[in-house]
Amino acid sequence: MSRIEQFEKMLASGQDGPLVRFSLGNEYLAADEPARAAEHLRVAVNHDPDYSAAWKALGTALDRAGDDSAAMAAWRDGIEAAERRGDKQAAKEMRVFHRRIEKRRT
């Protein structure tokens, strides 16, 4: 059974939460399915709006899916979440990703 199948089975059995959704989103990113990843990562940040790692991954998934505007918005929200939690490294990384898209758009 793949890791995706394991996490999907957990969801089907009612085990839902930000960590399960984050993990499943990361597995879909690794499987090069960014749209599916984004679905689960959105749920993760809805469960926990201060989950900076989930915001970072959501921005990455949206970027890989070709949605620059949504990726930038996710990283902006993620920067705010990271700053609330004192997660300076995650905020710094998301700022870099955000700037890369800005440069790519010009």
CATH number at residue 55: 1.25.40.10
Find the helix packing angle between 3-12 and 18-30, rounded to 10°.
150
Q: Residue 106's pLDDT is what? A: 80
Largest interatomic CA distance in the chain: 47
Q: What is the pLDDT of residues 71-94, one digit of tens each?
A: 999 999 999 999 999 999 999 999
54 with 82: CB under 8 angstroms? no
Instruction: For residue 32, give the nearest of 73, 60, 6, 56 by alpha carbon.
Output: 60
The whole domain housing 60 covers 3-105
Q: Residue 105's pLDDT is what? A: 82
pTM for this entry: 0.95
Q: Residue 7's pLDDT is what? A: 94
Total of domains in the chain: 1
CA dist 33 and 38 (Å) reads 9
